[in-house]
Structure 1
Amino acid sequence: MYLTQGLHRSVQQRPNATAIHFDSEARTFAELGARVARLAGALRQLGVGNGERVAMLSVNSPRYIEYYMATPWAGGVLNPLNIRWSASELLYALNDSGTSILIVDETFRDLGLKLAREAATLRHVIYAGDDDVPEGMLSYESLIAQSEAVEDAGRQGDDLAGIFYTGGTTGFPKGVMLSHTNLGVAMLATLAVGHVVPGTVFLHAMPMFHLAGFAAINALLACGGVHVVTPAFTPQTTMEAISKHGVNRVMLAPTMLQMMLDWIDNHPDQSTSLNKSSLTRIMYGASPISQSLLRRAQKMFPKAEFVQGYGMTELSPVCASLGAEYHTDEAYASGKMRAAGRPLMCVEVRIVDSEDREVPRGTTGEIIVRGPNVMLGYWNLPEATAETLRNGWMHTGDGGYMDDDGLLYVVDRLKDMIVSGGENIYSAEVENAISSHPAVAQCAVIGIPNDRWGESVHAVIVAKPGEAATAEDIQAHCRERIAGYKCPRSVEFRESLPISPVGKIQKNTLRETFWSNRKRGVA
């Protein structure tokens, strides 16, 4: 398998069909393929080949799709950079990977100049913006215009396709090495569960540097679907794009979905003029979704199926999916809606104890995964690779269980587990109890230092507009739903929670206040 396979197929089968919508522009597959082949020629002239790394720092745009295809076409290795990272984190990723070429857009023009001065291995910085090209940078559009198209380098199989850095909030980021087979199998699994099908008009609301966005790009190219691109997510631009282009599928983090629903409710004059009837499937992931939010979304988008994906960068990135059949009243009643999903084709999942022995159904343990979607390893981190990939299985660090029907349930990140008085407490269970309180919009549960118990349960809550609750209200509410030792010992209310670019609540940021002056981050 090879990363450019889907593009080759669509260029051959649907050359004159629309591949991309961006603002008022449209581009066919033939046009996309020609630009990719010429950009690959430009990269070759700049010395890319034999696995050299090419990075991109940019908001969403058609050029991001071209970068994703042209780099392997030229023989290079992808290194898409997190747009929320600091300059020092970006510099670390560039130096650690030995990246030789960096592409930046106008949003990151000044940061690109700084990185060009400081990154040890960068030879060229390419400006993929529409303003004047800064001194010392090369013009993206001029490179395409002046370069000849080249043949695809043909990297495939276990050849390294990309280094996708994960983390970066504590310690140093880890570069996840994914092969052409890893990403190709992920594309086939996406098609197999019907997330993307021929005729799909897909809105890229998730940031394209994130692997979930890249996975959608690969699947769309393979089936000849249409990419609708907006620079960044906002509720208004998302709804406007759905209405304008007849978008029928979109991927959102739960926080993004909630923001959309709030915008629709709070801006009736604008939202009522927009057509949302084309939307037939909403994929969500990156963090759990509350039952109240899901019911609200189903009411707002009655024609849309809802499906969930579970995975991580190391798994290319999805290993399980919860289909629309588990988003019904019956699934609510049975508890099946709380599942992360069923393992995808070509993926094996087990739940094991600390000795890697499979545990009985319904018993919580660590989720481990085996299959051709599992990463090659961590770049330049052989010890971390050996710790994570053991006996052919990827150890996810997630705690979960499997029911008798083969559905996978994620209980919590094992590192988020709170140990209080010798009892293991999974924060997701506490969060589910808190989220069912009518005044709660968002919440996060963390363990904080406690001199008597080692750790105690602490809840951080954002209230719904116009609603109010006290710590005592929340604690009493939880005591009715979960064991007393699991209930929060302390509660604080905030205006907002720290959120990552893909919609995850950043619990490490919440913990810093309580653990910053201690040698260990757990008791």
Structure 2
Amino acid sequence: MYLTQPLHKALIEAPDKTATVCQGRRHTYREFVSRIARLAAGLKKLGLKEGDRVAILSLNSDRYAEAIYATFWAGGVINPVNIRWSPAEIIYSLDDCESTFLVVDDTFSPMINPLTEGSKSLNTVIYAGDKETPAGTHNLEDLVRDNDEMEDTLRSKDDLAAVMYTGGTTGKPKGVMLSHMNLFSNGLGSQAVANMPIRSVTLHAAPTFHVAGTGLILQAVARHSTNVIIPMFEPKAVLEAIQNEGVIETFLVPTMLRMVLAHPEFSNYDLSGLQHMMYGASPMDSTLLNKARQAMPKAGFLQAYGMTELSPTVTILTKDWHTDEGFESGKMMSAGRPLPMVEIRIVDGEDNTVPNGTRGEIVARGPVVMQGYWNKPEQTAQALRNGWMHTGDAGYMDDDGFVYVVDRIKDMIVTGGENVYSAEVEEALLQMPQVAQCAVIGVPDEDWGERVHATVVVNDDAELTLDEVMAHCKTLIANYKIPRSLEIRDELPLSPAGKLLKYKLREEHWSDRDRKVS
């Protein structure tokens, strides 16, 4: 199993199929593969050795995709960089995994000097932009033009393919080591369940530096799809691309989907060609999901659950369950069933399997499980206990094998000795018409240990009081789960991948306490 294999097959099966569409540039698979092989030759000529890490700091683009595959072709390891990070955070990731190469576009070219001066490992910068080539860098287009195609190194199986840094939802990011086998197995397993169309048209709007974004490129190329790439998520750009490029499938996190549906010109666009709407990376509440289904009735919805450490997918809820019957049965709010090559268990604090319907920690085993955290053996051992990846997610499994993700274990609130899962309270809050977004956390309480606290973003300057919240929740959840305090904010802290950063909210309440939650 090697991640460049689909490129070789594309030259035989779909050489004239459009591979990439981005900012006016279009390349067939024949051109795409040739550019990759020549860029790989340029990397080798500049000193890239097998196993060297190549960091990529760029908005989404066709050149980003070429840099990924050229790195694999030349025998290197990709290190996609979070575009929201500060120079100091980027330098940390570069030096942590000892990246020697950096690919950077126009947007981030002003960071070249701070990064090269601050990093101990970085020695070669590839400029992937359209302006004048910055001093001391090598132009990507020059490398493509000036080099002949090289033979594929064919790194495969357990060879390291990527160091993907976690989103930092619980603090300091860790470098997750994913092999060719990990990423290839994820693609095979996902396709076996999702049955996505061959030679499709795939829109890439989620950030490529995120494992879901990188994974979507790998899976779409494996199916010889046309990859329509927009630099970064913007609701109107998504709508225009779906209509104008005949997009058949895309992946959005729930926050993005909410913004697309709320766009004032949403109804003006023809989205009838969209057949597959994939979502994941954070929970989708039933109100938003049903609204999306009604707004895009021809799109089959599909949920993927997983994490960076799982390459990233371990369960899929197919479009067959995104129906009225699926909603009524409760299956639509599950994360689906495990991929064919993946085992899932729900365990207690002693790693014992709990009965179906009982909440515990979700653990997974199979070829999608990471090799470990870069240079962090203790944290690796803690996560991969007894051969199972411990996700840190609380959930349960029903008698039909469907997995339900309840919350992050660390998001559990203990109030007066009772366990409250914040996702359940958030689901209740999101049924209020005034509530656009919300986050529920536990805050210090002298009497109860922790108090259920709701932070809310309201719709269109709506007004909301704690009394209204309590009265509403009383009809839906147990009394001890009802928020006892309320805060209205303009926005919630989110990671670049759209994940809610609850630890930032907690820090405001727990930073001066002996007991911390994170």
The answer, yes or no, to whether TM exceeds 0.5 is yes
Measured after TM superposition, the shift of residue 502 of structure 1 is: 1.7
Residue in structure 1 matched with residue 342 of structure 2 by the alignment: 347
Give the whole-Å Cα distance in 2 for the aligned partners of 1:428 and 1:416: 8
- DSSP 3-state at the match of 2:107: helix
Is the contact made by 1:236 and 1:260 (CA closer than 8 Å) also made in structure 2? yes
Match of 2:271 in 1: 276
Matches within 5 A, 1:164-183: 164-168=164-168, 171-183=171-183
Correspondence for 1:368 among 363, 368, 374: 363
Q: Choose the corresponding residue for 1:491, options 486, 489, 508.
A: 486
Partner of 1:457: 452
Q: Within 5 A, what are the aligned runs for 1:244-283?
A: 244-263=244-263, 266-267=264-265, 272=268, 274-283=269-278
CA contact (8 A) 1:191 1:197 kept: no
Q: Deviations over 1:84-120 (max 9, x none)?
A: 1111111110001011000110110111221011100
Superposed counterparts of 1:111-122, under 5 Å: 111-122=111-122
Q: What aligned pairs does 1:208-223 form with structure 2 within 5 A after superposition?
A: 208-223=208-223
User: Equivalent residue of 1:122, what SS?
Assistant: coil
What residue in structure 2 maps to residue 161 of structure 1?
161
Task: Tell me the equivalent position of 2:289.
Answer: 294
C-alpha contact (below 8 Å) 1:439/1:463 kept by paired residues: yes
Per-residue deviation, 1:469: 2.2
Residues 186 and 317 of structure 1 are in contact (CA less than 8 Å); yes or no, is this contact kept in structure 2?
Answer: yes
Greater CA drift, 468-477 or 341-350: 468-477
The match for 1:2 is 2
1:112-146 deviation per Cα after TM superposition (whole angstroms, max 9, x unaligned):
22101110011111111101011121111111211
The aligned amino acid for 2:35 is: R
For residues 56-455 of structure 1, what are the structure 2 equivalents within 5 Å? 56-168=56-168, 171-194=171-194, 196-263=196-263, 266-267=264-265, 272=268, 274-455=269-450
Native 8 Å contact 1:73 1:154 kept in 2:
yes
Contact kept in structure 2, 1:156 and 1:181, CA below 8 Å: yes
**Cα offset for 1:520?**
4.1
Comparing 430-439 with 309-318, which one deviates more in the overlay? 430-439
Distance in 2 (CA, whole Å) between partners of 1:169 and 1:327 is: 28
AA aligned to 1:98 is E
Secondary structure of 2:194's counterpart equals: coil
Distance 1:222 1:397 in 2: 31
1:325–1:503 Cα change, 3 Å = same
Q: 8 Å contact 1:85–1:168 — kept in the other structure?
A: no
Local SS of the residue matching 2:212: helix
Q: Which runs of 5+ in 2 are unaligned?
A: none
Q: Offset of 1:168 from its aligned partner?
A: 3.6
Amino acid at match of 1:313: T
- Counterpart position of 1:477: 472
Q: Is the 8 A contact 2:169 2:495 kept in 1?
A: no
1:493 Cα offset (Å) = 1.2
State the Cα distance separating 1:475 from its structure 2 match.
Answer: 1.1
CA-to-aligned-CA distance 1:375-401 (integer Å, 9 cap, x gap): 000000000000010111111111100
Query: SS of 2:393's equivalent?
Result: strand
Q: Following TM superposition, by how much is the alpha carbon of 1:522 offset from its aligned partner in structure 2, in angstroms?
A: 2.5
Q: Aligned to 2:499, what secondary structure does the other structure show?
A: coil
CA contact (8 A) 2:194 2:316 kept: no
Give unmatched runs, 5+ long, in structure 1.
none
Task: Flag as ranges the 4+ runs of structure 1 deviating above 3 A.
Answer: 167-171
Give the distance between the partners of 2:15 and 2:517, measured in 1 at CA.
Answer: 56
The code of the aligned residue for 1:346 comes to M
Identity %: 52
Q: Is the 2:198–2:224 contact (alpha carbons within 8 Å) kept by the matching residues of 1?
A: yes
Aligned equivalents of 1:400 and 1:166: distance in 2? 21
Distance in 2, matches of 1:230 and 1:99, equals 26
Equivalent position SS for 1:79: strand
Q: Does 1:28 align with 2:23?
A: no
Shift, 1:171, TM fit: 4.3
Structure 1 pair 13–323 and aligned structure 2 pair: CA distance change class (3 A): same
Shift of 1:496: 1.7
Q: Give yes or no for contact 1:455–1:522 (8 Å, CA) kept in 2.
A: no
The equivalent of 1:516 in structure 2 is: 511
Q: Give, in whole Å, the separation in 2 of the partners of 1:228 and 1:196.
A: 16
- Post-superposition CA distance 1:410-431 (Å, at most 9, x none): 0110011111122211111111
Distance in 1 (CA, whole Å) between partners of 2:190 and 2:517 is 37
Count of aligned pairs: 518
1:107 match: secondary structure: coil
- After superposition, the C-alpha distances for 1:34-75 in whole angstroms (9 at most, x for unaligned) are 000011101111211220100000000001111111101111
Instruction: Please report the TM-score for the alignment, with normalisation by the length of structure 2.
Output: 0.98
